[in-house]
Each structure stands twice: as structure tokens, then as C-alpha cells.
Structure 1
Amino acid sequence: MRLFRTALAGFALAITVPVAITPAQTAAQTPAAPDRAASFDKSEVMIPMRDGIKLHTMVFVPKAMNANVPFILTRTPYGIAGAERAFTTSYAELADEGYIFVFQDIRGRFTSEGQFVMLRNPRDKRDPKAIDESTDTYDTIDWLLRNIPHNNGRVGMLGVSYPGWLTVMAMLDPHPAMKAASPQASPASMFLGDDFHHNGAFRLAYGFEYVALMENGKENTPFVFDKHDGYSWFL
């Protein structure tokens, strides 16, 4: 978490203000954590992609705005229900800065349309109808700029693990408005060590459980084993 927040500080270039703490201030006097989600107007939209598929997206716009502000976009295969909880945890400092936040279910996951392909390969650019995570991000940003008021035409994108990989994919053919990207703990080489293989050795238990979680349905669907001993089950 410390590393994540350090990265966010550089990502957002936030200004910190020192606060004097006196001995008289005790834990009992510590105010409750602010309800940052209450400071945003939330909307849910289905954003159309270039091939007609629509992606489920949540948009959080600050209620009090003195100027136009950038977007911060996060795309994920794990579901965006309850995304506003991040405003009191990993996104707390960013929420205090008053950005427009966007969370999106990627293609084929949860209530987004289309077919989910795990770690979808970059498209064949010779095919004008081809799509990939880069085009979906591009189309999302393009729609946001044209349809969400009070934005300043700039977008930052961040994510950890699979959402980090989605951030990397967005940088292959980025929208001109994408000015900052923070991919963290992104998969890279599935053969070398990014989970399905470790130095070429296939991780059967992990690979099976993760694929079942992601591909048995549109929502997260853990596989139910009928034995406690996974080793004997796989045998």
C-alpha cells in the first residue's frame, strides 16, 4: 500500500499541507473518516465501442467544482460494483483532489456486452474491424470527452495486476487525451513467472482455479471442489 500511494503521489502531483498536532489531541478526538463518495454525483452508462458493443461504466463527478478537471480511468475484469469504496482506501488522496473518476467492466465481463478473452492479444491493424483492449480504451476516452461535462480534456489511467495490464495495453495506441498512466504489478511474461507458468512450469492448481473464476460465467465464479485435498483432486 505504501508503494502504491507513493506512486499515486507522482501520478497526481498532489499538494500536501502540513498540519500541527498538539499533545491534547487524543484518539478519542480523531474525527470519523469522511464519506468521500457523498462528494460525487454517480452515474452508470453503457459506452458504445466501434463495433457496436457497449461496456458498463460508472462515472463519479465531483459535486463542487471550481474548474474543469481530468478523468482518472480504471478498467477491470473483476467487477465495478461498490467502486466508490476505493475513495476511502487506495484512492483516498486522489478523491480529495476532486478528479472525475471512471470505472469500467471490460468487454464480456459482468454487465458489459461482448465476448471476454483473457489477456486479449493486440489486434491485427490490417483489419479495420479488429478490436482489442487498446481500441476499447480509446473509444471509452473519446466518449467521455464528448459526453461528460466539466472535464479538461486530459485523462489518467491506473490499475494493479490485471487492471495494470489493461493500462499497459491502453498505451499501445493511446488516445491523445491520455496524459498519464500508472500500470502497477502488471503481468508480462506468462511463461516466465506471471502466474500461469513459473520458469516454464505450468501451475495447474492456480491456472485451473483462475480460469474457472474468469471463464465459467460473466461474473466471478469460483470453482467448488468436492474434496479438501486439492492434490488428490487433480490426480
Structure 2
Amino acid sequence: MFCGLLFTMPVLAQIPAPQGTYPALPSETPAQFEVKTEAFNYARREVKIPMRDGVKLHTVVIVPKGAQRAPILLTRTPYNASALTSHNTSAHLDPILQGYDNATDVIVADGYIRVVQDVRGKHGSEGDYLMNRPLRGPQNPTPVDHATDTYDTIDWLVKNIPESNGKVGMLGISYNGFLTLMALVDPHPALKVAVPMNPMVDGWVGDDWFHNGAFRQQMMPFIYRQQAKRGS
């Protein structure tokens, strides 16, 4: 009997499946889905802000509902602006900002417009990414650096966000703190306050890439994650 089954199975496998004569079930996925935001207490905008060299930087702007003459709180980051402003899915501002580097209680209580931007070369932004882009000078012959990118960003924000009062503050921890410091090299007149917290400043002497000049192998995974691809 076993031998008979061996010879029979290939024959059965060649029998074509019967054609379906029944109506297809309707899909539960809509052809197009659009989130209804009328009840949200904030408006989310994603824009591409042009820099002086033509590169456009992806920027998330969160405006509290009903905001008028509100200050802007800006953070520039290599850590994904969209993710840093989407910690939760909610119609309320507080939950979406409950996470790293956001000072959510201050933003919500005082009605700040929250702006988070991908630095050039990372995530949604155009351009090339350098782990620590030098300031314009002997080590950077280009006309752009983090200082100019911040200046150009602030200049665009105060001219294109009608709900703002034209005043900008900056906030950042660690690498984002380094970017906040860079804004102070050539500060835009609209930049009124900068809060760099635990900023990465001297990677050669400090405890980031090196310790007094000795390379720290434990930083290799971070370097890999940051430089492997644009979206990492």
C-alpha cells in the first residue's frame, strides 16, 4: 500500500484546483485612509526648509490649537524628528511628546510651538551626513555647517509660522545639545535662549569617541548605527 501511495501522490498533485464561483469578500482596508484631526488639540505640519546651499531639511512643526503669538521651541537632531514627535498616537499634544528631549510639561503648559528637525543627511533631510560636521574653515571648505543650518532654519520659521511671536528657544541633550551649542556660533537675532544639556563637545578628550585620545571601542555600535544609512 505504501508503494501505491508513492505513485499516486504526484498524480493527485497535478489535478487543477476548481475555479472559484463565489463572490469575493469585501476588503476591510479602505482604498484611501485619512486621519480626521478636527478634534485634535494641535496641528502637525511637516515641511522641507531650504538651506543657503539649496539642501532641504525635513522639519516637524507642532502648533497647539488656537495658538497666537506663541514662542517656538526648536530641537535639531540626527535621531529622527518624526519619531521624536510621535511617541504615542493621540489627539492630544502631551502623549505624542512624552519622550526623549521634549520638555513636554513646559511645552504644553506654556503653549510653545514645538519644532524638531532632522540634520542634513539623516532621515527625511537631504544632503550628506557627517558625524561631527566642522564649522566653516580649514576643515570645512563648504559654505554650510550646523551654525548656518540653524540660522537658516530659524529665519524660515519666524517668517513662515504665522502663529508664532517671532521668538525662538533651543533645547537639546547630548548630541542634540552639541547642535544647540552650534547655534550660538552665529546666532540668529530671533534666537532668545539656548539650553544645551550634557552636550557632546570635545569627542577627543571627553567620553564620547575618545578618552584623552584613546579610542573607546564601546562607541562602535553607536557609530555604526548613525552612519550605516540615512534612516538609521
- TM class, shorter-chain normalised? 0.7 to 0.9
| Structure 2: 5+ residue stretches without partners | 1-38, 88-95
Letter in 2 for 1:77: P
Q: 1:190 — aligned with what?
A: 203
Say whether residues 1:87 and 2:97 are aligned partners: yes
Q: Is the 8 A contact 2:73 2:113 kept in 1?
A: yes
Partner SS state of residue 133, structure 2: coil
| Structure 1: 5+ residue stretches without partners | 1-36, 221-235
Q: 1:47 — aligned with what?
A: 49
Q: Distance in 2 between matches of 1:183 and 1:144?
A: 20
Q: 2:157 — aligned with what?
A: 144
Q: Is the 8 A contact 2:136 2:142 kept in 1?
A: no
Q: 1:210 — aligned with what?
A: 222
Q: 2:79 — aligned with what?
A: 78
Q: Is the 8 A contact 1:87 1:95 kept in 2?
A: no
Q: Is the 8 A contact 2:107 2:113 kept in 1?
A: no
Q: TM-score, normalised by structure 2?
A: 0.73
Q: Distance in 1 between matches of 2:40 and 2:74?
A: 19
Cα deviation 1:115-146 (Å, max 9, x = unaligned): 00111111129x99610001000001111111
Task: After superposing the two structures, state which structure 1 stretch, 115-124 or 194-203, moved more.
Answer: 194-203
Q: Distance in 2 between matches of 1:144 and 1:88?
A: 23
Q: TM-score, normalised by structure 1?
A: 0.72
Identity of aligned residues (%): 46
Cα deviation 1:83-138 (Å, max 9, x = unaligned): 3336335422322211111010000000100000111111129x996100010000
Equivalent position to 2:64, from 62, 65, 68: 62
Structure showing greater Rg: 2
| Root-mean-square deviation over aligned CA pairs | 2.0
Q: Distance in 1 between matches of 2:78 and 2:182?
A: 14
Say whether residues 1:172 and 2:174 are aligned partners: no
Count of aligned pairs = 181
Q: Distance in 2 between matches of 1:187 and 1:121?
A: 14
Q: Is the 8 A contact 1:58 1:103 kept in 2?
A: yes
